[in-house]
Structure 1
Amino acid sequence: MLLTDTHTHLYYETDNEKRIALMQRCKQNDVGRLFLPNVDVFSAAQVFGLAAEYPEICYPMLGLHPCSVKGDWENVLDAIWNTQQGRKIYAIGEIGIDLYWDKTTLPEQVLAFKAQIKKAKELKLPIVIHCREAFNEVFEVLEEERDKDLRGILHCFTGNHEQALKAIDLGFYLGIGGVVTYKNGGLDKFLHEIDLQHIVLETDSPYLSPVPYRGKPNESSYLVYIAEKVAELYQLNIEQVATITTENSKKIFGI
């Protein structure tokens, strides 16, 4: 069995022994592919560092998280692109709009989002979208940018059935994480009505730990609990879920 964590900030763990233990637990739980989203200039070095340390299972992305978008976002974005230095990336992310923490930066967030979509299209890469309390705003941008090159993942999907179908129509996979295991998360009410061909799995570690670790720091090895819950909802075994969602991740990231 091979599970793919399409969204993990495992690089936040800077203690070498703890990081080695995290990776060992991934192996024990059959989590063999880790996709690492960037959030700002500082984290770019961490992303590339972990990818260099574990090149056989870690795949970097580059992008500016909407919560990191300020008035100088263009300069910051240039600095982020400059960190690549010829190294391969597999997506532009995580990018998008977040209106939970700060609504006043919406104009800048939209501009930064569009600029990064443009970059993804130029590089023929998928985008990985962060959307928090901003479905209407994100969908508006995606409708404007819709074309054959627009594709990717709506990370940490927590919307309703209608929003799920809208995302799929726009060419996006749904990133399903720990929320699917929550009693009042809502995803368990309709997710089984969405074809598994449109689903990928993620942890968003160290955030949003699944049951039975809710409230504690998350890690990529816990992806197995998310996969088990998805298997239960679809009335499949976990091996089938692992196979289908990993194949979906390969279609998105090209590896």
Structure 2
Amino acid sequence: MILTDTHTHLYYETDSAKLTELMQRSLDNQVSRLFLPNVDSKSIPLVFGLSEQYPQHCYPMLGLHPCDVREDFKEELAHIYKEANLRKIYAIGEIGIDLYWDKSTLSIQQEAFRTQIGWAKQMGLPIVIHCREAFGEIFEILEELKDDKLRGIFHCFTGDAAQAEKVISLGFYLGIGGVLTYKNSGLDKVVQDISLEHLVLETDSPYLTPVPFRGKQNESSYLVYVALKLADLKQIPIEEVARITTLNSEKVFGV
């Protein structure tokens, strides 16, 4: 069985011994494919450092997180773009729009999002979208820029059935994580009616820890609990969930 964590910030752990333990627990739980998004220029060395340490298991992605789009965002984008062209990466991400913390930066978030979608098309890569309280704003841009090169994952999807259908209609995958295990999230009811062909799994570690570890720091090894919940909802073996969601990840990332 091979489980794929399509979105983890495991590299945030800078203690090398603890990071080794995190990776070993992940591999012990058969979570053997980990896709690593940076958030800004400072996190790039951490992403590449872990990817180089575990080249058979870790795959780097680069982008500017919407919460890190500030006054100097053009300089940040220039630095990230340069790095993205120097080494092999597998997606542009995580990118998008976040209006939870700061609505005043909407216009520059939109500009950064459009720019990075352009990179992805130019490089033939998927995008990994961060969306928080900005579904309408993000979809307006996706509809504007959609073509046969636009593809990717809606990371940490927690929307309703109608939103899920809109994502799927654009050919994107839904990234399903720990929120699926939360009792009152409602995500279980949405996912129950969606074919596995449209889903990939993720942890977003160290955030959004699944039950039974909710309240503690998340890690990629806990992806197994998301997979178990999905298997229970679909009434199929966890091995089948792993097989299909990993196949989906291979399709979107090309590896």
TM-score normalised by the chain length of structure 1? 0.99
- Residues in 1 aligned to 2:16 and 2:188: alpha-carbon distance in whole angstroms: 37
RMSD after superposition: 0.7
Corresponding residue for residue 12 of structure 1: 12
Letter in 1 for 2:235: Q
Calculate percent identity across the aligned residue pairs. Answer: 66
Structure 1 stretches of at least 4 aligned residues deviating more than 6 Å after TM superposition: none
Letter in 1 for 2:44: A
Is contact 1:128–1:154 with CA below 8 Å preserved after alignment? yes
Per-residue CA deviations over 1:41-88 (Å, capped at 9, x if unaligned) read 000111011101111100000000000001221111001122346210
Count of residues in Structure 1 that have an aligned counterpart in Structure 2: 255
- Residues in 2 aligned to 1:177 and 1:51: alpha-carbon distance in whole angstroms: 22
Question: Deviation at 1:240?
Answer: 0.2
Gaps of 5+ in 2: none
Corresponding residue for residue 152 of structure 2: 152
Corresponding residue for residue 106 of structure 2: 106
- Quick check: 5-14 or 78-87, which moved more? 78-87
Per-residue CA deviations over 1:176-201 (Å, capped at 9, x if unaligned) read 00000000111111212111000000
- Residues in 2 aligned to 1:64 and 1:214: alpha-carbon distance in whole angstroms: 28
Letter in 1 for 2:88: K
Corresponding residue for residue 122 of structure 2: 122
- Residues in 2 aligned to 1:207 and 1:60: alpha-carbon distance in whole angstroms: 19
- Quick check: 211-220 or 77-86, which moved more? 77-86
- Residues in 2 aligned to 1:166 and 1:151: alpha-carbon distance in whole angstroms: 13
Question: Deviation at 1:242?
Answer: 0.1
- Residues in 1 aligned to 2:54 and 2:2: alpha-carbon distance in whole angstroms: 17
Corresponding residue for residue 66 of structure 2: 66
Corresponding residue for residue 41 of structure 2: 41
Is contact 1:97–1:132 with CA below 8 Å preserved after alignment? yes
Corresponding residue for residue 91 of structure 1: 91
Letter in 2 for 1:91: A
Corresponding residue for residue 192 of structure 1: 192
3-state DSSP class of the match of 1:200? strand
Gaps of 5+ in 1: none
TM-score normalised by the chain length of structure 2? 0.99
Is contact 1:203–1:219 with CA below 8 Å preserved after alignment? yes
Is contact 1:121–1:149 with CA below 8 Å preserved after alignment? yes
